[in-house]
Amino acid sequence: MAIHDSILSTVGNTPVVRINRLAPEGVEMYVKVEAFNPLSSVKDRLALGVIEDAERRGVLKPGMTVVEATSGNTGIGLAMVCAAKGYPLVVTMAETFSIERRRMMRFLGAKVVLTPAAERGTGMVKKAEELAKKHGWFLPRQFENEANAEMHARTTAREIINDFQGRRLDWFVTGYGTGGTLKGVGSVLRKERPETKIAVCEPANAALMKSGEPQPRREDGAPERGHAAFEPHPIQGWTPDFIPKLADDARASGYIDEMLTISGPEAMKWSRELARREGIFVGVSAGGTFACARALAERAAKGSVILCMLPDTAERYLSTPLFEDISPDMNEEELRIAGGGA
């Protein structure tokens, strides 16, 4: 076991795990489990990448405060990086995201500023921009920062290339939040594994990339009701109410071979299935990505090999509907067992 100079050198090198009980017959399915990052999500890579890039460019100096808008995982990753490097951190986050996320960020020393639910992703980004301008704080701009995609090209993509060296890889399946994973991994796969197709997943009722349209807004800035993107979905971290620049870049570059959609209930179902039948404990976005990958596997040619990204841990969702049927008290069967019944 290696000895690390700081927690930051443990980011990346996450395992690829074969799916044994949930894969359709004749198709090999693998998952890249990003919960093995130190703060349990793929966004640890983004956080380290954008901060170290800013340091190299001289736009982030010792003592400066970092401020960023996030659905939670990026903020948690940034809180880790800023704690290790000594930067104060302020996070803006829509109040709809899980309580665990804001508590974790505060536990790591960050300040969390909540924005109204009705303003969604646009509102929290606007607040972060406002605070950065007012105080002269450093704003990473994760949705458009090229260092985000470059970090994935340098780490995530290289790990995939190395893990599948000399092996077949027909599909890479991922969701998108900022678009960093999609653009970074997509750019490398197109050059070095051009036979590998890329499928991108998003919520069925917020399919911004598939529709090619950002969420329309009224003159007063509020979302237009009736548009698909307005409807809430439980897949936290997927599709803000705008198409991120990095994701749009990936689409324009031809990195997307197929767009897939999944409903919130299906995403949660497959998160639970991964836990109960594979022992893989991951969140709702991971369940959604896996559901799309499995649907692809059902119609793939025999012998196909599919790799699916699993972005984070299920522990981020304890207060959400993912765990609503999981009681801390004993159920009837457990009471029978406790009482010595059959």
Active site residues: 43, 285
DSSP assignment letter at 314? G
> 239 exposed, middle or buried (CB, 10 Å; 0-12, 13-18, 19+)?
buried
Please choose, from the candidates 51, 53, 103, 57, the residue with its C-alpha nearest in 3D space to the C-alpha of residue 78.
51
**C-alpha to C-alpha distance for 69 and 45, rounded to whole angstroms:** 16
**C-alpha to C-alpha distance for 213 and 220, rounded to whole angstroms:** 19
> What residue ranges in the chain does DSSP mark as E strands?
16-19, 28-33, 66-69, 89-94, 111-115, 171-175, 197-203, 258-262, 305-310
**C-alpha to C-alpha distance for 287 and 309, rounded to whole angstroms:** 10
Residue 281 DSSP SS3: coil
The encoded tokens of residue 46 equal 């983004």
179 φ/ψ sector (left φ>0, alpha ψ -120 to 50, else beta): left
Please choose, from the candidates 119, 122, 94, the residue with its C-alpha nearest in 3D space to the C-alpha of residue 243.
122
DSSP assignment letter at 21? S
The partner residues of 33 in beta bridges, in order of sequence, read 310
**C-alpha to C-alpha distance for 47 and 152, rounded to whole angstroms:** 11
DSSP assignment letter at 92? E
- Please, are residues 44 and 37 in contact by the beta-carbon 8 Å criterion? yes
